[in-house]
Structure 1
Amino acid sequence: MRILLALSRLIDAINQRVGQVVMWITLIVVFISAGNAVVRKVFHTSSNAWLEVQWYMFGAMFLLTAGYTLLRNEHVRVDILASRFTQRRQIYLELFGTLFFLLPMAVVILWLSWPMFMDSYVTNEQSSNSGGLVRWPVKLLIPAGFLLLVLAGVSHLIKCVAFLMGKGPDPRDKPEEKSAEERLAEEIAQEAIAREAALRAAGGPAPVQDSTRQGTR
């Protein structure tokens, strides 16, 4: 079991690193999208190559983060019935769903998409749009994304078995970190405190406190 858990940690590390890289791709896509819009509106011109780069990156954002989403337990769960089960029965349901639904689906798509990518790679398939890009890199995203999902599914299976054997935590637990809404609320509160301190240091009037904050005090 220690070897399997070590394998699970390695798989998780790979998906974690891929997820972090895709976060930067998201930022790059924002700049490319804004640049394309500005050039089109201001200079009345456009480039199919830059438009396709944008599409390719959108594909990478969705395909390459499937395994990362499973790792973070952020995928959608429909647990109307499962929530009534005991914890161990819920883990058995996780095993069943991963073995008979997630992995078969991901393996089949991986298997079917590989020949499509190879055919595009061998023929050096080009975009049908004028000035477009080569097509095989974006088609490689499909088998690559589902390979990462298969690996994440294997890691999830290992963690489920480890939990049932009493050698690991509940694999459905999300990492203990604050949500985006909680972080935003903290930043707003810190900015308000900083403004209040700056006003006091400058000798200005103290800000008016609203009734909700006064009530909590």
Structure 2
Amino acid sequence: MAVLAIIDYGMGNLRSVSNALLRVAPAGDRVVLTSSPEVVRAADRVVFPGQGAARDCMREIVGHGLVDAVLDAAASRPFLGICMGMQVLLAHSEENGGIDCLGVYPGTVRYFGRSPRDPLSGERLKVPHMGWNQLQQSRPHPLWSGILDLSRFYFVHSYYVAPAETGLVAATASYGVDFCAALARDNVFAIQCHPEKSAEAGLQLLHNFARWNGKPA
């Protein structure tokens, strides 16, 4: 019996993530919502969700004593970052004049801007980017199994990830600019959208994660 831990640091609608994973996890596996570093360290798989501001996220992770547990999980077992849980894996965010993040990967989290425009139509785009958008898969990965390229996922965000290494990019999306919508390396997969709100494609991604051995292929 495997244990899948969802890290609870007080930010985000974690109940939707938990309910979605309970639907797709293998029979007998446990899905636990926890703020305990010890439980995170003992889990077989770890989900790191979140929404809101990077500064608040980092403050709560530190306040809950979870930094080392998150870093350990990202270095050692199947790890899924969702939304803010993807962004703070990078070194730095432009938010609020600049904030240092966890630094698992080099790169910056950038603001879409006050009034981005569609490059084809010139139409102004609203920020935050909110709603359904296509994901273009950049390369094969076990978490894309059963998910057609250009499937639509649900996004809510004002900032996007710009990793310093193009090899980290696992999918892109377009909203005024083409941006990294998913990144992957070794045992880590992180995605900007909310798979728990993304209908069948999102549930398939969570299904795949709940069975993933942490190897990229």
Answer whether TM exceeds 0.5 for this pair.
no
Output the TM-score relative to the length of structure 1. 0.23
Larger Rg: 1
**Higher RCO (CA-CA < 8 Å; seq separation 6+):** 1
